[in-house]
């Protein structure tokens, strides 16, 4: 038995050593427990060697190859499972976010003063930012805020700095350290806090660090250099030969009721005419998170 995802490394090692089995990109799976339960049930009906891919690897580095079974998103059934788990997780996160935004009965003592706060979570976070200069991020970007505050409170009560996690001998020294070093904020390198930021749930298998490090599609210096070398007569300031492909739709939107995809305006018209669904009228009073939630439903 393994506690997932906390013991993911031990679980992966066990699969490899005892079963010659590997799950590719395990860190990209939204719900490891449900993922494993699904495949455990499938393997009872059909053996793994009929479903998984095989791979020969030099495990010990001595040229002796080991034949292992590999399960990953390169298998269509596995890819669909991962996408379904991601979508369910996203709906769960959005539901939680909406509930937190609409809850006006939040009550909690301030982490840094004696104020007993009552109201909404956004105002509580604003209090921490304005009066105590504790920067946790914009409220609209945070989720599971109660757990976030519990995590911060536990760290401070154990006399660890929120930012550098350094241990101090008493609360007074800790407070002075965090004030002088401007450590009243979350360290972006501290992965313990990733689960409290919505950006880490938006793209399947990606956290904010991976998204940030992705190259821009239009940042192709080599292509620009080759174009300049092939024809030096082209003027840098001449934009007259830039023609758009009118038939190409960037970031197409998919209909909520069928597989048709096109521009946002065209899909709105299509849903209204073909399905009797007026997205503009229905979403007029919705905020961003409600509109995203509607699209997932």
Per-residue pLDDT, averaged over 259-286, amounts to: 78
Q: How far is it, in rounded angstroms, from Cα 99 to Cα 282? A: 20
With pLDDT > 70 as the criterion, what percentage of the chain qualifies?
80
Which tops the pLDDT comparison, 67 or 246? 67
Which tops the pLDDT comparison, 256 or 26? 26
Give pLDDT, residue 231. Answer: 47
Per-residue pLDDT, averaged over 253-261, amounts to: 79
> Tell me: the pLDDT tens digits for 147-197?
999 999 999 999 999 999 999 999 999 999 999 999 999 998 898 899 999
Q: How far is it, in rounded angstroms, from Cα 249 to Cα 243? A: 14
Give pLDDT, residue 202. Answer: 86
With pLDDT > 90 as the criterion, what percentage of the chain qualifies?
55
Q: How far is it, in rounded angstroms, from Cα 136 to Cα 100? A: 16
Give pLDDT, residue 242. Answer: 46
Q: What tokens were used for 115?
A: 């104020």
Q: Quick check: 196 and 148 in contact, CB under 8 A?
A: yes
Give pLDDT, residue 235. Answer: 39
Per-residue pLDDT, averaged over 11-28, amounts to: 92
Residue 214: φ, ψ to 5°? -70, 135
Sign of CA dihedral 38, 40, 43, 49: positive
- Which residues does residue 109 pair with via DSSP β-bridges, in sequence order? 116
pTM of the entire predicted model = 0.65
Q: Which of 30-34, 123-127, 245-249, 250-254 has the lowest mean pLDDT?
A: 245-249
Which tops the pLDDT comparison, 283 or 184? 184
> Tell me: the pLDDT tens digits for 79-127?
999 999 999 999 999 999 999 999 999 999 999 998 999 999 999 999 9
Looking at the predicted structure, is the pLDDT value of residue 240 above 50? Answer: no
How many CB atoms within 10 Å of residue 20? 16
Q: What tokens were used for 271?
A: 């849903």
Per-residue pLDDT, averaged over 270-288, amounts to: 75
């Amino acid at each position: 038995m393994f506690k997932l995802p906390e013991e993911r490394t031990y679980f992966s090692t066990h699969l490899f050593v005892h079963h010659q089995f590997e799950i590719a990109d395990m860190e990209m799976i939204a719900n490891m427990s449900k993922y494993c339960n699904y495949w455990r049930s499938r393997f009872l009906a059909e053996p793994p060697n009929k479903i998984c891919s095989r791979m020969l690897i030099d495990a010990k580095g001595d040229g002796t190859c080991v034949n292992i079974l590999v399960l990953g998103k390169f298998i269509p059934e596995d890819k669909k499972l991962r996408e379904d788990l991601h979508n369910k997780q996203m709906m769960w996160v959005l539901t939680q976010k909406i509930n937190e935004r609409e809850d006006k009965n939040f009550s909690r003592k301030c982490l840094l003063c004696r104020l007993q706060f009552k109201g909404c979570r956004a105002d509580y976070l604003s209090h921490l930012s304005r009066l105590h200069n504790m920067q946790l991020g914009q409220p609209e970007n945070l989720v599971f805020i109660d757990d976030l505050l519990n995590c911060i409170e536990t760290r401070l009560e154990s006399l660890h700095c929120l930012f550098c996690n350094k241990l101090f001998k008493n609360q007074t020294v800790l407070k002075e350290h965090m004030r002088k070093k401007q450590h009243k904020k979350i360290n972006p390198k501290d992965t313990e806090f990733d689960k409290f930021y919505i950006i880490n749930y938006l793209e399947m298998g990606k956290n904010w660090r991976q998204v940030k490090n992705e190259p821009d599609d239009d940042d192709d210096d080599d292509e620009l250099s080759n174009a300049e070398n092939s024809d030096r007569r082209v003027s840098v300031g001449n934009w007259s030969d830039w023609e758009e492909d009118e038939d190409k739709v960037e970031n197409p939107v998919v209909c909520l009721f069928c597989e048709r995809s096109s521009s946002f305006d065209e899909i709105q018209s299509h849903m209204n005419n073909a399905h009797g669904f007026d997205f503009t009228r229905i979403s007029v009073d919705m905020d961003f998170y409600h509109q995203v939630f509607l699209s997932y439903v």
